[in-house]
Structure 1
């Protein structure tokens, strides 16, 4: 029953039910068949067949509309996220900590360290990529994204 309700509930992104996109028609609830509702009582075999043919004719249009709705929904979600995200910017000479999960330098685990460092920022590239060096002056291989860094406060 849970799967049935999931498959017959319209999605926010497409405004269509997964059932209707898969089987090209709206589902009838099992309760409607068991209890003689108006939808079942007024059922006519010939008009039902004609309605199914009409559904097939408009299927391509229905899929295109749901695809456009889904793209618009993704754009709106992206705009919402981009408005709230705070971009981290580090200047050359600042000290940062590096996320242990990204570097895998130390063994991880439930009680393992989350951050390692400090490291000094030696070069700031575009798109939030930074070149780091250790406190002894040895350069760390590859660039590191700002998502994996945080400011180190003495």
Structure 2
């Protein structure tokens, strides 16, 4: 029953049910057959077959339209997310602190330190990855994402 309800519920992104995009028509619920609703009572076999053929003919068009709606929904979601993201960027030579959680250098705990450092940025990639070195000039292995760093002020 859970799968049935999932497949017959319209999705926000596509504005269609997965069932209708697969079979070209809306399903008849089991309750409609058991209770003998108006939809079942007025069923005409010949017109039903004709309607199903028409639905199958426009199924590909319906799928394309659903794909356009889904792309528009994804674009709107991306735009909403990107409005709220604050980009962090560091320049070569700036001092930063590194999240202790990311490096796992010191034991963590409720009262453990959250940040460690300071470190100096030696190289900045366009993708938000940075190479660091200690204050003594010893390089830190691997690159570090900007989300794991924060600016250090003396």
Shorter-chain TM-score: what band? 0.7 to 0.9
Residue 22 (structure 2) pairs with residue 22 (structure 1): yes
CA shift in 2, pair 1:101/1:59, >3 Å:
farther
Q: Please report how far the alpha carbon of residue 152 of structure 1 lies from its aligned counterpart in structure 2 after TM superposition.
A: 3.9
Other-structure match for 2:146: 146
- Structure 2 unaligned blocks of 5 or more: none
Quick check: 2:23–2:56 contact (8 Å CA) kept in 1?
no
DSSP-derived class of the 2:56 partner? helix
Partners of 1:108 and 1:54 lie apart in 2 by 64
Aligned-CA RMSD value = 2.6
Q: What TM-score do the two structures reach when normalised by structure 2?
A: 0.82
Q: Please state whether the residue corresponding to 1:127 is helix, strand or coil.
A: coil
Ranges in structure 1 where 5+ consecutive residues have no aligned partner: none
Which string of whole-angstrom CA distances, capped at 9 and with x for unpartnered residues, describes residues 116-148 of structure 1? 433222233323232210122112234322123
> Kindly tell me: are residues 49 and 113 of structure 1, through their superposed partners in 2, closer, same or farther at Cα, counting changes over 3 Å?
farther
The structure-2 alpha-carbon separation of the partners of 1:112 and 1:40, relative to structure 1 and needing over 3 Å to count, comes to farther
Q: Does residue 122 of structure 2 align to residue 119 of structure 1?
A: no
